[in-house]
Structure 1
Amino acid sequence: MQAPVAVATATDRAGRIAPPSFVLSRPHGTVLAHGVHTRFDSAADAASALRTGRVRTVAGALPFAPDHPAALTAPEVLEHTPTAFTTETPALPTIRISGVMPAEGEHVDRVTTALGLLRADDNTLEKVVLARALTLEAESRIDPEVLLAALVSHDTVGNGFSVDLSAAGAQWFGRHLVGASPEVLIRRRGDLVTAHPLAGSAPRSSDPELDRATAEELRASAKNLGEHTHVVDSLRASLEPLCSELDIPEHPSLTNTRQLWHLGTPVSGILRDPSVTALDLALAVHPTPAICGTPTESARDLINELEGDRGFYAGALGWCDENGDGEWMVTIRCAILEPDGTTLTAHAGGGIVADSDPFDELAETTVKFGTVLDALGVRR
């Protein structure tokens, strides 16, 4: 059942209706940031400003590489609504795929290179996540809130996000990150900390029996269970010092989107120190093996060697208020909208372990592109 939606608007200082600079739409409600009080390209500086009370709220995006510029702001207003996001929008123009980066054969070669390292006798690398990208071109300009509304309406529970990346510096000025991530990196409400990491996936089917069988195969897959274990173990190691209690189920459960079945583990804990904010928690656990690999440093080095800079793909997006509460999502199933309003770059990746198959991994990225492509009506 599609989640209910509500129109969210604000006015600028001239009294005109202005779109929010940040939106996170979730099944339990939407958070919108209006106006800019302070910009931060350093996540550490933003976290410090929150803890010391120099700013009341922070919203925005963290890059994949923690030492790269963030796109965070202290907004003038951080608004909460109880429903998913929508806005009065025109129909989307025709959007087509204009480029593939890298070509499919090169992505297979990259996975094969990673497998050589993963299978080596002296190997210390256990998992690496490799991604590829598509360039999309629209026939006419699209506003970020139009893209967001399309993604939210296509998501079965109303997930979606959009953020102006200008705070990260000149390279990112006027660019927007939009997407519909199903993965909660971290959430804090009072002393309760929750997360829902996803790792291990299989494509959905329109045939109910085949779809059910695929889900059960995923639940029993040694390869996918092993990949998921890396993520859960890493999250446990990051959260145990910060939580007095930590509840992590022994086995993952199944969760789904329109395109995929996922293995997911709902994690919950009780925060030891009430001064630790949701942003602090996000910085403590990011990047997880779900979007980077294990060990983190080795996987990140290989990703940089094979892919280059990911920017804000596979980073995190979210908000934090003066009480330390907030929610951060992993920035997957997403695209960057260029300042011209007609060019988008969409990303999709998959976890590679020693028994991965290069062509299966290529097919997985193709399925994951579906979240953005299907919502925007892109022919494949």
Structure 2
Amino acid sequence: MSIIQDIKIGGSFDKALAKAKAEGIPVLYSAVQKVSHVNPLSFYSKGISLYNGERFFWKDKENNTKIAGLGSTYMLRNDSEDSRYTSIENEWKRLISNAVIESDREIGGTGPLLFGGFSFDPSVPRSKEWSDFSHGIFQMPTFMLTVTGQECYLTTNILCTSQDDEGLLNIMEKKQEELLGQKEAGTSNLKLVETTEIAPEEWKEALEEVVSQLKNGDMEKVVLARKMLMSFKDRPLSDNVIQNLWNEQQDSFIFSLEVANSCFLGASPERLVKKAGEDILSTCLAGSIARGGNPEEDYKLGESLLHDDKNLYEHNLVVDMIREVLKQYCSEIDMPDKPELMKVRDIQHLYTPVKGKAYQETSILNVIARLHPTPALGGVPREKAMKTIKHAEKMDRGLYAAPVGWMDSYGNGEFAVAIRSGLIHKDEAYLFSGCGVVADSTAESEYRETQIKFKPMFRALGGNTDGL
């Protein structure tokens, strides 16, 4: 059982309650308590009985920050094609402007926090598997465990209304004690029944048509994705999948967002943007090649990637775009002259980090709105590439290849690009994989690349990757 080390919940609860009654509006009360160490995956699993369909999980690439959220004190949704970023931000600012926050200091990733993301393209008709999601969807949890470095914090969020009284606090304290004290729930096995690649030959034909357009000079790059369907005997639990991803993809962002009967989750190597105070960090990740079977082969493959004109060209398109966007929001920019290699279990990428010092008025959603989609996930030029993707793919990407992450009330946050991901919907799972297409791309080589990129999620869901 976890021991709460400081701040008893409820010290300022009366203040939030009085404010709600006086002003006639809901007022958020958020209490942050330091606790002895709790495994964030265990906390996530403990919440299944009370909050199944209302959980999220996050682990950053460096393993410095892990966040597990249970329940939904407040949910922000937006389906606008044009104003989803500003609408979400304005509603978030309104909510936290009246909040009563009880914490001994500002700790990034604690207190009022939103977790969620945006769809890749809000103009694409929503498919049935994405029916539980919106084009902008963010959850503020009721209970949230944040592990940052060696410290562990529990945040409790209560939305007080004019009809509430102190009995609400007693109910929340009992739930808190139950979550911290109960045993971890057991999880079921992943019982895979069938795997189906969705129209692979049609996808190759569409890719060849795009290559023809690229050769004509209509565009410089287009990213095409496809999907795979996995069917199960029972609905797969996200707990099992996250644990498998944690075991196999330690160097990736691991994320999970449950909404009703669905769960979007994955293990992405790619950071879109991180903001900690005035510090901004983004990642240029484009150009890839397989891992080798031994260190010598792996080294040779990596060196060939570093000197491959097609992949360097693709990578530089991303570098140029991200640098230009960050210049608009940062007083200074720092980045290396040449890419390096980022190696994860199944694949290695060309990688260039971009750092900056943000202007005071810059929010993380400002930057995301301009960055998404980067050339690594959309193409160049952006608008033509997006139209081409919609026509060629004939599918709804949903949150795949889009921003997924968190932001707190202090202005901090971090978003990954949701690649190497999948969607669990009832007793099925949809896996997504994409590749950057340029004028000298070939259908077979790009198809093989997508096969490699399916592997992390396919394996985490209990599939045998020998055939991929």
Is 2:231–2:428's contact at 8 Å kept on the other side of the alignment?
yes
Query: 1:177, CA displacement in angstroms?
Result: 0.3
Matched, 1:47 2:89: yes
Which whole-Å CA distance do the structure 2 matches of 1:8 and 1:322 have between them? 26
* 2:189 counterpart letter in structure 1: L
Matched, 1:267 2:267: no
Structure number with bigger Rg: 2
Query: 1:76, CA displacement in angstroms?
Result: 3.1
Query: Of residues 50, 53, 70 in structure 2, which corresponds to 1:34?
Result: 70
Matched, 1:64 2:120: yes
Matched, 1:301 2:378: no
Matched, 1:134 2:228: yes
Is 1:30–1:83's contact at 8 Å kept on the other side of the alignment?
no
TM-score (norm 2): 0.72
* 2:304 counterpart letter in structure 1: E
Query: Of residues 124, 145, 156 in structure 1, which corresponds to 2:239?
Result: 145
Matched, 1:178 2:265: yes
Query: Of residues 420, 424, 449 in structure 2, which corresponds to 1:364?
Result: 449
Which whole-Å CA distance do the structure 2 matches of 1:63 and 1:190 have between them? 26
Is 1:37–1:76's contact at 8 Å kept on the other side of the alignment?
yes
Which whole-Å CA distance do the structure 1 matches of 2:325 and 2:39 have between them? 35
SS of the residue aligned with 1:312? coil
Matched, 1:222 2:222: no
Matched, 1:279 2:335: no
Matched, 1:9 2:43: yes
Gaps of 5+ in 2: 1-37, 79-84, 100-111, 124-133, 151-183
| Residue in 1 that maps onto 2:34 | none
Matched, 1:100 2:197: yes
SS of the residue aligned with 1:9? helix
RMSD (Å) for aligned C-alpha atoms = 2.5
* 1:81 counterpart letter in structure 2: V
Query: 1:75, CA displacement in angstroms?
Result: 2.8
| Residue in 1 that maps onto 2:175 | none
Query: Of residues 139, 148, 155 in structure 2, which corresponds to 1:73?
Result: 139
Distance 1:119 1:270, change over 3 A: same
TM-score (norm 1): 0.88
* 1:73 counterpart letter in structure 2: Q
Query: 1:79, CA displacement in angstroms?
Result: 3.2
Distance 1:110 1:272, change over 3 A: same
SS of the residue aligned with 2:328? coil
* 1:366 counterpart letter in structure 2: Q
In the alignment of these two chains, the number of paired residues is 361
Which whole-Å CA distance do the structure 1 matches of 2:142 and 2:190 have between them? 33
Distance 1:10 1:345, change over 3 A: closer
Specify which structure has the higher proportion of helix: 2
Which whole-Å CA distance do the structure 1 matches of 2:42 and 2:276 have between them? 23
Distance 1:95 1:12, change over 3 A: closer
Query: 1:49, CA displacement in angstroms?
Result: 2.5
SS of the residue aligned with 1:265? strand
Which whole-Å CA distance do the structure 2 matches of 1:180 and 1:260 have between them? 13
Which whole-Å CA distance do the structure 2 matches of 1:78 and 1:277 have between them? 23
Which whole-Å CA distance do the structure 2 matches of 1:219 and 1:240 have between them? 26
Gaps of 5+ in 1: 167-172
Query: 1:283, CA displacement in angstroms?
Result: 2.1
Query: Of residues 112, 127, 134 in structure 1, which corresponds to 2:208?
Result: 112
Query: 1:187, CA displacement in angstroms?
Result: 0.3
Is 1:47–1:280's contact at 8 Å kept on the other side of the alignment?
no
* 1:263 counterpart letter in structure 2: L
| Residue in 2 that maps onto 1:169 | none
Query: 1:40, CA displacement in angstroms?
Result: 1.9
Is 2:114–2:140's contact at 8 Å kept on the other side of the alignment?
yes
Query: 1:78, CA displacement in angstroms?
Result: 4.2
Query: 1:65, CA displacement in angstroms?
Result: 1.2
Distance 1:88 1:227, change over 3 A: farther
Q: Identify the structure with bigger relative contact order (alpha carbons < 8 Å, sequence gap 6+).
A: 1
